[in-house]
Structure 1
Amino acid sequence: MRKLLLIGMGPGDPNYLTLQAVEALNRASVFFLPDKGAEKAELKTAREEICRRFIKSPDTRFVSIDIPQRAPAGDDYRAVVDDWHARIAARYEALLTSELADGACGAFLVWGDPSLYDSTLRILDRLRAQGLAIDYEIIPGITAVQALAARHRIALNRIGEPITITTGRKLAAGLPIDADSTVVMLDGDETFAKIDPADLEIYWAANLGLADEVLISGPLKDVAADISRTRRQVREAKGWVMDIYLLRRGGKAKA
């Protein structure tokens, strides 16, 4: 049976890797590196830099996986994502069977952590359900959620209060009435600029852990326009942007 390591690499900076992740990097003989095209080449480059820095064996092989583009979400988001995952799974299966020998150990470097808004696990489970003989081990990584809090020097939660982690798509339906601290990921539509800003603070970051990291924070009503402008500038400069933010009611402190 083929063995795969899903190694959480953190949000970009090689220094975010854990000691467990470094050890796992040196257990694998083949690394599968997602390739999302020229526009997002920096994401692949970040993975390659981690491998160069931490892998000791000169015999380690690297295999690129061309990732197909997802169709526009339309009215049936889940169906579109399921179709996309099926196409990715077909490419994974072809390369896993041709590039990883039975009994060998391969690895994926997963941005952030494999358990949070990443689909590698789901795709491998799909392949297992289809009969591909693979097993996997998860090496947890530092998430963008943790890095966001660290870079803004804040705690994610306030005393006795919950944290919600959601997406821009869900936020578009409205911030839950009882939400105290809400982390929003995958917000390509700048939903923060479309909700009622009253009594909300925002802690925003783009491209955490990369050279062009940007941080902005303050009352949402005061900084939303600045965030939108900055976000678009980052996207225009490199063709993509990965951002995340925390919305908090009533500022930093709560009585």
Structure 2
Amino acid sequence: MSFGQGGPYGPGGSQPPTPDWSALADTAARDRRRRWLLFGGGALAAAAIAAIVATAVIVGDDDGGKGDRSASQLPTPAELPSESAQSEPTFSDVDPPAPISPLEVISDRSKDTAPITAAGLFPGDRATVAGRDYTKGATASTKDCGSVAQKKLYPALTGNGCRQVVRATYTNGDVAVTVGIAVFDTKAAAEKAKAAAGPFLVSLPGDGVERFCRNTACRSTSNAIGRYGYFTIAGNTDGSPVRTDETKARQAGLDVAEHAFSRIMQRANAQASAAATAR
């Protein structure tokens, strides 16, 4: 096989070239220096990183583990706040005072302190109950409770500590009614007086009303609320006896008793309202 000029080494071919040993030596030296530089640079980089980490650890421990950290250390998830802090409403544990009951006022002498007068209990010149009108006549007030009571009513008032009786007379046609509001210290005393009461409250004439219900048949009622007892006597204005089948005097007595009850409760409500406002 013929390769021509410049073919393989051997018979008929050219001689192999002689290597340049000096150049090869220089190349090998350069390669060795490059490897050392790479190794040395990597080692320096590793050493620098280790120094940074060591510095971070040292800075983090400068306070003895009390919590100061360098920027390279982050808090753990457990140390992060779970929710943003929000202010919660606060409430007082002091309850507001309970409203005072009107019945409580008129059952307790220390709370029922408003003046007790005929003008206060029986204001105006008339009373209307269920559409029936009654004209007011004479009024009177006394602390001698026995002086305005007869028969069973006398011991009922005097025996239970009655302090005052306020009376007023109302008329409707030929019927007249006297109502007396008796004042006691306690509700219990008023209830005892009511239970023991019987005839009769002494009628109160005057202001155009003649004497009535004196030594003759009349209608009477008795009741109590709080520390007040209220009693009525009703009869004919001409002094004649009330017949057993006649209902006008009876109705008049019930109406004026209801009027007295409403006046006592109005007194109670006014004082309860004033006490609540004062609180």
> TM-score per shorter chain, which class?
under 0.3
**TM-score of the superposition, structure 1-length normalised?**
0.25
> Of Structure 1 and Structure 2, which has the larger fraction of its residues in strand?
1
